Structure 1
Amino acid sequence: MRAIGGLRRWRHNPLCRTTDLVEAWTALTVLLLILLLAPVAGVLTGKAAYAALQRSVREQHASRHEVAATVVRRTAESPFRADPDGGSGRGTRTRVLAEWSAPDGTLRRQPVLTGIARPRAGDRFRIWTDRQGRVAARPLDSATATVHAVLAGFGAALLAAGAGEAARRTVVRCLMRRRYERWDQAWERAGPDWGRTGAGS
């Protein structure tokens, strides 16, 4: 709105310089571009991210399986670790040696993290594995993917708006440099006698 007001104010002003008009028109143009292009960039980016993330969700859910594992024993090294998948409510996880059956029926045994507070041999818990029965991360869920896509869209819209504002500032900086150069030239033309007209010197 300041850009429109600036154009109206400067249009018929005798003190208006060309650089003033260019600055006002640049501000108005960038404002309109931000209002039009930033939402479009956000929507397109969000849609692309949503499609890619939902495809990843489907692939992960197809390739990963939740299986029951049995605690063999606690491991001596690194007994407690932070849960990489959980929030603050889950607390720490304990490293244990566990065994489970792979999809092909073979028995797998390796150290894993469990949420059991004091695990004992024979305790059962759930883990995620890939098609070969190796431990895998929990698959991404659809709601989380949607949130990531929305954030990507907002980020793209903000980036587009920031790029427009950066372009406007660059133009204004160039215009200011040009004004200063013209003022310096005007002062040089005025010379050392400026302000002494008719003083007899």
Structure 2
Amino acid sequence: MSGVWRWRHNPLRRATDRCEAWLALLAFFLLVLAAPALGWLCGARTDAALQASVRAQRADRHLTTAVVVRRAAATRLVSDPEISSGRATRTEVVARWQAPDGTPRTAKVTTASRDAEPGKRVRIWTGRDGDPALRPMDMPTAHTHAVLAGSGAAMLAALLIECGRRLLMWRMTRRRYERIDRAWAAVGPDWGRTGTGS
């Protein structure tokens, strides 16, 4: 804003100075208003899509009680992108359970249960068909992903605005120097010589 007023009454003001000041003002308002608005819009839409996905996953997947047949591997830390904590101790076991239609199923699954000895009952996630499924995404994780998407969109918009401003400034400066070079070429050879009227 001060850039615009600085050139308002200055007798040395050029048209390019005024354009540069208005460009800076426009970029400032876009950074302050447009980038956050775009980030909020992107975050809100992402959140709505993820909430719908969470509801669909919860409708599709169910906790089922299974009986451990044997351990498949040692207890280990695995990354689970569907839960907010991100990491949880999971145990791989071979387990047996019944599908919704009553057919018996046996497969390798992971469980959060610490007591996964043979014969113990553990809770596992299954789909509608009774096959093992991943844990559904929880609401805090969906909100976190939406906030990250919105923040990323706002930062990308700010970066594009600043890159656009710098590109326009570079072009304006280049054109100014080209005009100066043309003017100098027209006047330069005779400048400062006696008897040339300068």
CA displacement at 1:152 relative to structure 2: 2.0
Normalising by structure 2, we get a TM-score of 0.83
Give yes or no for the alignment of 1:22 onto 2:28.
no
CA contact (8 A) 2:127 2:133 kept: yes
2:135 corresponding residue in structure 1: 138
Give yes or no for the alignment of 1:84 onto 2:82.
no
How many correspondences in the alignment? 193
Give yes or no for the alignment of 1:112 onto 2:109.
yes
Q: Whole-Å Cα distance in 2 between the matches of residues 70 and 83 of structure 1?
A: 22
Tell me the secondary structure at the aligned position of residue 188 of structure 1.
Answer: helix
Residue pairs, 1:1-201, within 5 angstroms: 4-75=1-72, 79=74, 82-85=77-80, 87=85, 90-91=88-89, 93-115=90-112, 119-192=116-189, 194=191, 196-198=192-194
Q: Whole-Å Cα distance in 1 between the matches of residues 123 and 78 of structure 2?
A: 14
Larger mean CA deviation between 23-32 and 37-46 belongs to: 37-46
Q: Whole-Å Cα distance in 2 between the matches of residues 29 and 74 of structure 1?
A: 64
Amino acid at match of 1:27: A
Aligned CA RMSD, in angstroms, stands at 2.5
Q: Whole-Å Cα distance in 2 between the matches of residues 132 and 179 of structure 1?
A: 71
Tell me the secondary structure at the aligned position of residue 101 of structure 2.
Answer: coil
Any stretches of 5+ residues in structure 2 without a counterpart?
none
Larger mean CA deviation between 97-106 and 185-194 belongs to: 185-194
CA displacement at 1:163 relative to structure 2: 2.2
CA contact (8 A) 2:78 2:87 kept: no
Normalising by structure 1, we get a TM-score of 0.82
CA contact (8 A) 2:79 2:87 kept: no
Amino acid at match of 1:169: R
CA contact (8 A) 2:63 2:123 kept: yes
Any stretches of 5+ residues in structure 1 without a counterpart?
none
Q: Whole-Å Cα distance in 1 between the matches of residues 115 and 139 of structure 2?
A: 32
CA displacement at 1:172 relative to structure 2: 0.4
CA contact (8 A) 2:113 2:123 kept: no
Q: Whole-Å Cα distance in 2 between the matches of residues 114 and 143 of structure 1?
A: 21
CA displacement at 1:132 relative to structure 2: 0.7
Q: Whole-Å Cα distance in 2 between the matches of residues 66 and 84 of structure 1?
A: 20
CA contact (8 A) 2:16 2:172 kept: yes
Residues 144-175 of structure 1, C-alpha deviation per residue, up to 9 Å, x if partnerless?
A: 21222222222222222222222211110111
Amino acid at match of 1:198: T
Amino acid at match of 1:36: L
Over the matched positions of the two proteins, sequence identity in percent amounts to 50
